[in-house]
Structure 1
Amino acid sequence: MNRKILYWIDFFLPHIGGSEIFSASLIPALQERGYEIEIVTSSEVEGFREWDGNSEISIHRFPFWNALKNGNLQQMILLRKQITEFKKKFQPDLVHLHFGAASYFHLQTLNAYPAPTLTTIHSCPEICSSPQSLLNRTLQATQWLTTVSAQELANIRKFDPSVSARSSLIYYGVELPKLPPRPLNIDTPKLLCLGRLVPNKGFDIALQALALLINRFPKLRMIIGGDGTAKADLMQQSVDMGLGNVVEFRGWVDNAEVPALLNEVTIVLIPSRQMEGLPLVAIQAAQMARPIVATAVNGLPELIVHQQTGLLIELEDSVSLAEAITYFLENPVLANQMGQAARQKVQENFDLKNCINHYDALYQELSGVAIKSQLPAP
């Protein structure tokens, strides 16, 4: 019997982010194991392009994000009705909910067709003490919770101890690229910042660090890959700092092109501010044996062990970031060793097959509860 999974996520491809890329690998693998999966996600996001990827993935797009952002009560009522009808028609055995703003609509339609909820939290939400907060209500409605970092799991369990017995850590699983890592280029080094161009990523701090280094390392260059609301500000910042000919804004980078891009660069920078679970770019950079400098926030230290698999710095510290870059450029043997150690660590802890097996086991266990509950009493 095929079990029906309603896979609920705020955004999906072509919107680029760690959870979207991860989901695009997880869903087909679970479909191959016999699950019938339907995706419910947002539409009408800034810069939205329809995805021309896997035609076997069924995607249902609703304007959740705009309705909530604009506080459009009439639209929210209509969406609640549409989701109610969709759930009744699909009759899921399990809802896999990726926590986010659109979780509101799942909670509003819990009784449309009762099914267990598996919730995944990718980045620690701001902890709210109100019993009516979206996080609190989601945790209360969840039969099982997974997180993508141990730190995140500890934070959630501290926030709500009742979750401890029904929660677990499942690291992102990422397939190892077929493209082998190139040797690090120290003679004409390149730095890389890759991800959504939003303030939380801290790419403005990376530009500040570059400005501190360019006289000492005149051949140093930086690539910023990605799109987002902060792009114009970052481009203006690079011009104002006299870095216009030093920084290349690569634009949107297809996930399939990421390994080749990583092979171009010498060091990967992840100067994130808060609200990072464990960024996918850290895993991808480690797979390609690139030395990483990152802020010590949330799950990043679980992959980047200071002076073993990379270097960690404090928040908002462009001087320390510049010093860490200098350390790698002046110690290429150690930079290479840390990159290789990171590659080994990611192969051991972020294996895609293991990740799929863990979710498969949860799907079976939780959807089995749903199936049993629908059987007639003996």
Structure 2
Amino acid sequence: MNICILSTTTEAHLAGGSEMHCRLISEGAAADGHRVTLLTTRHPEGKAAEEKNGVRTLYLDGTDHSMSVRWAARWRLKSLEKLRELHAASRFDVLWAENLSGWHCSASRSGLALPLVTIMNGPGVRDGLRSEFNRVSTAGELAVFAVKILPQTLLFYLPWFYHTVKGADALIAVSPESANSIKAEFSFAAAKLHTVYNGIDVGLFRPDPPAGARTLERYGFSGAWPVLLMAGVLHKQKGFHLGLEAFRRIRDKISGARLLIAGDGPERASLESLSVSSGLAGTVAFCGHVPQPALPEYYNACDLFLNPTLRVEGHPLVALEALACGKPVVTAAIGGTLSTIVDGENGFFFKPGDVDAMTEKCLRLFADRNLLAAMSASARSRALSKFSVGKMVREYLRISAVVIDSFKGTL
């Protein structure tokens, strides 16, 4: 196939799950022998184009990944212009679009005879608002939600979301929970909605105890037990502040416990301050942004991965990566996290925001090393059977082939 992918952000712009997903599906399709061209917004350093691992990426000048109303309009104009130019020169077979990146390129809007497969990395609009509201804990945050986030969602995001769902020839949700969230709001989407679990590189993310030991040594935690890890962008809705409180309580029971926090973001300073005020200085390491190739070293340094998120997740990659490294996952049961682990087999669920339950689940594992070892083995097995990049990409290609055939029948 000759595949064009639209994404307003890549890992050159941001370090998030959608950006990683974009790289995995594009490189995965290229590795399978398909031609892949990725269109995205202007490179932060002004780079016009690059080719890497079989993927040709074009950065469109005159656009910006911030996706304000103004920049969203520019993206629609510039990306459709470039798509028409490329399609005329070397016809694409299918268009893949990440999230809301491609609704303006549907056949009915663009006039292009090109089937559109849209990948929804998150839930519907209501659950997106729920995620934003879950982070509210002060009067100021409530005001921001009411005055800024809610109006923007209703006036701009909701119409964009509707047009995205309506214009796609096929929709892919990354978990059953996300699929159900979208169908609950847009019932007409059911007939073209598919569920394909996120995949991760199970060759990169694998058990590697020596790499973990080197990471512990780097942070002065050699010989520490148990070690917990939290990872991701440090936003309030990710619940890292709740994870810190759970860790404080674990330390009350097990004085040798240590915590690694891999990631950066707007909450880092407040989390560092909270760590000190909670008496955790010297027991928590804020590791900052960790490049993707180095992340397995951090998973391998821990005994347990903790995901205290308050966000209605699509299908969190961090949990899948931890499983692939053979680490049990203790996670909030919200959105697509419900499709990461099997409760009691390779981790535990707890109610979002329930620090008591979060603490208890962790302590239960630390009190029974046989259970911890059994869950570790089960974690790796689950990742291999359910969440590989190869399995994900094969499903994308299968769905695309069906859509291409159906689309030809309508011409």
TM-score, normalised to structure 1's length?
0.86
CA RMSD of aligned residues (A): 3.1
Contact 1:120 1:146 in 2 (8 A): yes
- 1:268-287 matches, within 5 Å, as 268-287=305-324
C-alpha distance in 2 between matches for 1:308 and 1:50: 48
How many angstroms does 1:86 deviate by? 0.3
Is 1:180 paired with 2:207?
yes
> 2-side partners of 1:248 and 1:229: how far apart?
17
1:82 lines up with 2:82 in the alignment: no
> Quick check: 344-353 or 185-194, which moved more?
185-194
Instruction: State the distance in 2 between where 1:108 and 1:236 align.
Output: 52
Q: Does the 8 A contact of 2:5 with 2:97 survive in 1?
A: yes
The CA deviation string for residues 90-123 of structure 1, in whole angstroms up to 9 with x for no partner, is: 11432211114x4566579931634221011111
Deviations 1:104-162 (A, max 9, x none): 66579931634221011111032389996222111110111111111111222232222
Q: Is the 8 A contact 1:292 1:339 kept in 2?
A: no
Distance in 2 separating the partners of 1:306 and 1:291: 10
Flag the 1:249–1:146 CA change in 2: closer, same or farther, 3 A.
Answer: same
Q: CA deviation at 1:279?
A: 0.5
- Matched residue SS, 2:65: helix
Stretch moving more, 364-373 or 160-169:
364-373
Supply the distance in 2 between the matched residues of 1:93 and 1:197 (Cα, whole angstroms).
39
Cα offset, 1:219, TM superposition: 1.1
- 1:137-216 aligned at under 5 Å gives the runs 137-177=163-203, 179-182=206-209, 188-216=225-253
Q: Are the aligned partners of 1:43 and 1:61 in contact in 2 as well (CA < 8 Å)?
A: yes
| Pairwise CA distance, 1:21 | 2.3
- 1:112–1:229: structure 2 CA closer, same or farther, 3 Å change rule? farther
The answer for the alignment partner of 2:30 in structure 1 is 31
Given the alignment, which residue of 226, 246, 250 partners 2:263? Answer: 226
1:298-325 per-residue CA deviation (whole Å, 9 max, x = no partner) reads 1212222221221111111222211112
1:276/1:322 CA distance change after superposition, 3 Å:
same
For 1:294, the equivalent position in structure 2 comes to 331
1:61 is matched with 59
Matches within 5 A, 1:1-378: 3-14=1-12, 15-43=14-42, 54=52, 56-62=54-60, 63-66=63-66, 68-69=67-68, 71-72=69-70, 77-91=73-87, 92-100=92-100, 102-103=101-102, 106=105, 110-111=109-110, 113-127=112-126, 133-177=159-203, 179-182=206-209, 188-368=225-405
Measured against aligned partners, the alpha-carbon deviations of 1:185-230 in whole angstroms (never above 9, x if no partner) come to: 9962111001111122111111111122223222111111012122
Could you tell me which amino acid in structure 2 is paired with residue 30 of structure 1? A
Distance 2:103 2:403 in 1: 21
> Could you report, residue by residue, the CA deviation over 1:13-42 in whole angstroms, capped at 9, with x for unpaired residues?
143222322332321231244432221224
What CA distance in whole angstroms lies between the structure 2 residues aligned with 1:365 and 1:22? 22
Counting aligned pairs with the same residue, the percent is 20
- Say which SS state the counterpart of residue 95 (structure 2) adopts: strand
Assess, with a 3 A threshold, how the Cα gap between structure 1 residues 9 and 263 changes in structure 2: closer, same or farther: same
Determine the C-alpha separation between the residues in 2 that align with 1:215 and 1:29.
46
3-state secondary structure, aligned to 1:65: coil
Residue 50 of structure 2 contacts residue 58 of structure 2 at CA under 8 Å; is this kept in 1? no
| Residues in 1 aligned to 2:194 and 2:72: alpha-carbon distance in whole angstroms | 32
The aligned residue for residue 147 of structure 2 is none
Q: Which has the higher helix share?
A: 2
How far apart in 1 are the matches of 2:49 and 2:329?
31
CA distance in 2, matches of 1:244, 1:42: 41
Q: Describe the shift of the 1:139–1:288 C-alpha distance in structure 2 as closer, same or farther (beyond 3 A).
A: same
> What residue number does 2:148 align with?
none
Change in CA separation of 1:324 and 1:132 when aligned onto 2, cut-off 3 Å: closer
- C-alpha separation in 1, matches of 2:49 and 2:291: 12
Deviation, 1:293, is 0.7
5+ residue gaps in structure 1?
Answer: none
**Amino acid aligned to 2:248:** A
- Mapped to 1, the partners of 2:46 and 2:370 lie a distance apart of 43
Post-superposition CA distance 1:213-251 (Å, at most 9, x none): 223222111111012122122112212222221111111
Partners of 2:49 and 2:264 lie apart in 1 by 16
Change (3 A) 1:95 1:297: same
- Rate the CA distance shift 1:248–1:58 in 2: closer, same or farther, 3 A: same
Measure how far apart 1:48 and its partner are.
11
Query: Match of 1:316, as an amino acid?
Result: G
Unaligned runs of 5+ in 2: 127-152, 214-222
> 1:289·1:336 contact (CA, 8 Å) conserved in 2?
no
Does the CA-based 8 Å contact 1:199-1:230 persist in structure 2? yes
**Higher mean displacement: 163-172 or 31-40:** 31-40
Q: Separation in 2 of the partners of 1:43 and 1:225?
A: 27
Question: Given the superposition, is the C-alpha separation of residues 40 and 309 from structure 1 closer, same or farther in structure 2, using an over 3 Å criterion?
Answer: same
What is the count of residue pairs matched by the alignment? 366
